[in-house]
Amino acid sequence: MSYSVNTSMFKSIFAVPTDIVDKHIRLANEHQLKVLLWILRNSPDNPNLDEMCKALKMNKSDAIDYLQYWVLTGVLKGDSEKTSYTMPESPKEETNIDSIKPPTVTSEKAEEISLAPAKPSSIEIAERIDESPEIGHLFNEAQSKLGKTIGYDGQCTLLLLHDHYGLPTDVLFMLIDYCVSIGKTNYSYIQTVGKDWGTREIDTLDKAAEQIAALRRSNTLWREFAKYAGIVNPRPTTKQSAYLRRWNDELKFNIDMIILAYEEMANHTGKLNFNYIDKVLSNWHSKGYKTPDDVESAAAEQKERKPQSSANASYDLDKFKERSLHGELKYERKKKK
């Protein structure tokens, strides 16, 4: 079957840069192409994002994510402060994404950023897709699991976890499934958990399954602990989750012992202190305490061994009281030596 363009459609046309077809039609997803075509058709100089989102039936935050692809590749110029986009003033000159200057970094965060891996450019992402069909499959499968189109940020996150932190695609799929199951599908959370897995070499299906089971246990512990302590956060932070995993998996304490340690902390401090609770539990673990009864018995034994001032005094207090009430009072003058 052959195809030809209906020439009557050319009565009304608008310009599309050839680079869009030559360089990006394979790399850009359908939503990224839609937002660009709408801008080229309606208002290339200063598009109204609200009108665009209404026309495309698209969430504004998603639209900004799709547009970011065109900003990074130089097709659009973006002003993040005003959330506005325009076509470059000199479209004949090809913009090299590698020449884009990074934002100014403050001295306080210079060390932190220098240790973090750099985000891959859109060109580098395209090269990785060409080099490894596995990467393309990773993006497509992740998109299906997350239920949304993966833009530049999502591609960067997955590629960094795969290439830099060494997580295989099947482990990443398990990670994404877990994040979806707890309703945390933002890329920041996925990257935080993935970085933790990569650092601790959770890079096989068995290790991932064991880790997910541990995370689910810590989430259950958190719900019980938070309810008792009056904490409103639905889930623990990464650091709090690490404490819970240590108490449950390493020290083998259940929620009753954790709550008892919390009470010990509350009796000595004025605020929630996980480090204090950890020291209490570590001390109990070193002494072999496993249940609240063990802690109570040890406290009772310690109380019995503690010297009592009245019992060890040089006089018997009860006998002294008896003599004072019933004995005959005699006055004797102390003899001089």
Mean per-residue pLDDT over the chain, rounded? 79
Beta-bridge partner residues of 84: 79
Q: Please write the tens of the pLDDT for every residue from 72-126.
A: 777 887 664 445 666 565 443 443 433 333 444 444 434 443 355 678 888 888 8
- Ordered by where they begin, the domains of the chain are 12-91 (1.10.10.10), 121-203 (1.10.10), 208-303 (no CATH)
194: which residues sit within 8 A by CB, 6+ positions away?
Answer: 157, 161, 165, 167, 172, 175
Q: Please write the tens of the pLDDT for every residue from 183-198.
A: 889 998 899 899 989 9
Helix (H) or strand (E) run with residue 176 in it: helix 169-181
pLDDT tops 80 at residue 29: no
Give pLDDT, residue 85.
67
Average pLDDT for 57-78: 79
Listed residue (63, 68, 71) closest to 97, CA to CA: 71
Give pLDDT, residue 113.
35
